Amino acid sequence: MSAVLNKIKNKLNIMSMRWRILLLGTLIVVGMIISQIFYFFFVTVRYFEQEIDQENKSIAENIQYEIDTYISQIIGELTNIYDRADLLERIKNDELDYKDRNAAHEIILSTSLTSDNAAIYIYNNKDQLVSGYRKNSSYKYPFSSDIYDESGSQTTKQIIQESSGSVLLLSYNDDKKENYIRIVLKLYQDGGKERIGYIVCDMNKSDFTKIAERYEFKDQQSMWIESSDGIFTYLIQNGENMSVEKETSGKDYYTESSGSEYGYKIAFVYPAFYMEPQFQTLLVNLIFMSIFIIVLWGSIIIISSKKMTNQLSGMISSLKEIEKGNMNVRIKNIWDNEFGRIGKHINRMMDQIQKHIYEEYQLKMSLNEAKYYALQAQINPHFLFNTLGTMAGIAEVQDCGLVKNMCEALSDIFRYNIMGNIDKQFVRLEEEISHIKNYMYIVNIRRGGDIQLDIHVEEKYLDQQIPKLSLQPLVENSVEHGMKNKRGEKFISISAWQEENCFYLETADNGTGFEEGAVLEYKKEEKHLSIGLKNIEDRIRYLYGQEYGLEISRTDMTRVLLKLPVSVEERKNI
């Protein structure tokens, strides 16, 4: 078994994308159709069963209604006894003589029931027979002269005692070996407060059977009436003589009425085999429809998979060319679908890769050029530093403190720019600020000391690592461009702060570098900025990414904001 599974697995592994799509699509469609067949079949069967149940329920209710009407007519005949109030009074007081019994018999004979029914009895409240009538003696199966001569009469007595209103019972005729129908009308006086006796009307089931036969619509349909005492009798019985329990077993459809006010209900069984041809026809139609759908969907899947795999094949061919180093290859025949969008993204990615390759090449060229110029600047630096040291010593001997300080400041500036720092990219903020102070000292001597430098940097930020010579060119830009035509008070301020994961350095001056209200960003206004600022912008973005760099604005002062990441320890030179 495992060998077979491994063989199937290997076949699937080497299967092409198109055949995988075909196999998967076919399995999904077939599975869905099979599940839909079963679902639709069982739902339809259930629907038919509900329809049959509702129809049979309606038939049972109609039969019950007609039987109720018939019983109402019988009870209406029996209520004629209320016209003889004197007789009812003597029945109540148990003071009957033979004249009263004859009177009761005459009341029975005056009804039209004696021609159709088997027997009528009048009983007092002590279950004693007052008078009775049985159909002529020629009746093949005569009823007893008193119902309490029968076996099981205690059940009738108990139901009469416990129930209210008219009662329909089913009793058994031992001679005829079948059930018959018994209707009981209770007799009351004092506005229905006191029961004084009851009338029992026993009849065969022929009249009830005639009502049921009008609603018989199928062969093998069995129908019976069940009384409140739990006894049942068939109105219609087809097929073998089986019990009700057997009739309602299996898959036959059992239906019963809601129950009559006279204490009975109608029930019948509709054989399930009558619906089998309809269900078989439905199942065959569903199978043929499913085969048609499978063929249709299979054709659609084959055509669709071919189009999809053609696009994938084109993409794979292009990617193989790119893998060989041909960066100019682009995916063609792009459709407006998911695969087409993948192709567009691959083309855009290749464009970006080519752009980054070119930019990296340009950056390497710029870096090599910068190193070349830096190496040129290092030509005999010790001679320059020694000369500046000699000049500072002479100035000190000659008591020229200003010249001495200038030489020392200029020496520190050169040393910061050149000596020991040619390959060092990052410095502490404190070192950069010291360099700016030396620079501003020289500038103020040249300009007569009219530019004020304010530094607002908390001590905790002095160890922050920043790119070397990233802040001094901003100050130099303020001096050269902002203060050039400025009259009156001049000042430059340096500020530093941290927000979340970003570290900000800002230079601000009150010079005339930009027009009032103008806001310039390097990306949009690159042509208006100095080479020094452009250099800083390029370096920052190269080191940290496009989200970092410079932002220039003008409100009350010209402000240049330098945005850096907080943590740069991993970028420090060792």
Domain ranges of the chain: 63-274, 426-431+439-571
Mean pLDDT (whole number) for 142-159: 68
Distances (CA, A) of 19 to 247, 253, 284, 308, 311: 56, 50, 31, 12, 15
Mean pLDDT (whole number) for 107-126: 80
**Contact in structure between 187 and 91 (CB atoms under 8 Å):** yes
Q: State the pLDDT at residue 517.
A: 44
Output the CA angle 410-415-421, nearest 5 degrees.
150
In angstroms, the CA 259 to CA 198 distance is 23
pLDDT band at 565 (very low <50, low <70, confident <90, very high): very high
Q: State the pLDDT at residue 172.
A: 60
CATH code: domain 63-274 is 3.30.450.20
**Contact in structure between 496 and 464 (CB atoms under 8 Å):** yes
Residue 46 three-state SS: helix
Task: Identify which of 167, 162, 155, 161 has the alpha carbon closest to the alpha carbon of residue 261.
Answer: 167
In angstroms, the CA 408 to CA 404 distance is 6
421: CB partners within 8 A, 6+ apart: 427, 468
In angstroms, the CA 494 to CA 475 distance is 9
Task: Identify which of 471, 492, 367 has the alpha carbon closest to the alpha carbon of residue 428.
Answer: 471
CATH code: domain 426-431+439-571 is 3.30.565.10
pLDDT digits (tens, 9 = 90+) for 62-115: 989 998 998 888 888 888 888 888 888 888 888 888 888 888 888 888 877 776
Q: Where do the H-state alpha helices sit in 214-247?
A: 244-247
pLDDT digits (tens, 9 = 90+) for 23-76: 777 777 777 777 777 777 777 777 777 777 788 888 889 989 998 998 888 888
pLDDT band at 416 (very low <50, low <70, confident <90, very high): confident
pLDDT band at 464 (very low <50, low <70, confident <90, very high): very high
The region of weakest confidence among 91-100, 218-227, 385-394, 523-532 is: 523-532
Q: State the pLDDT at residue 334.
A: 73
In angstroms, the CA 170 to CA 509 distance is 116
158: CB partners within 8 A, 6+ apart: none
pLDDT digits (tens, 9 = 90+) for 287-296: 777 788 777 7
Supply the DSSP symbol for 518. -
Q: What does pTM read for this prediction?
A: 0.45
The most confident of 15-29, 411-425, 467-481, by mean pLDDT: 467-481
* For residue 446, pLDDT beyond 90: no
pLDDT band at 567 (very low <50, low <70, confident <90, very high): low
Supply the DSSP symbol for 205. S
pLDDT digits (tens, 9 = 90+) for 185-235: 888 887 778 888 888 888 878 888 888 888 766 565 788 888 766 777 777
Q: State the pLDDT at residue 236.
A: 77
**Contact in structure between 306 and 18 (CB atoms under 8 Å):** yes
Q: State the pLDDT at residue 502.
A: 93
- Other Cβ atoms less than 10 A from the Cβ of 53: the count is 14
**Contact in structure between 179 and 169 (CB atoms under 8 Å):** no
Task: Identify which of 454, 442, 512 has the alpha carbon closest to the alpha carbon of residue 483.
Answer: 512
531: CB partners within 8 A, 6+ apart: none
Q: Are the folds of 63-274 and 426-431+439-571 the same?
A: no
In angstroms, the CA 474 to CA 267 distance is 103
**Contact in structure between 183 and 167 (CB atoms under 8 Å):** yes
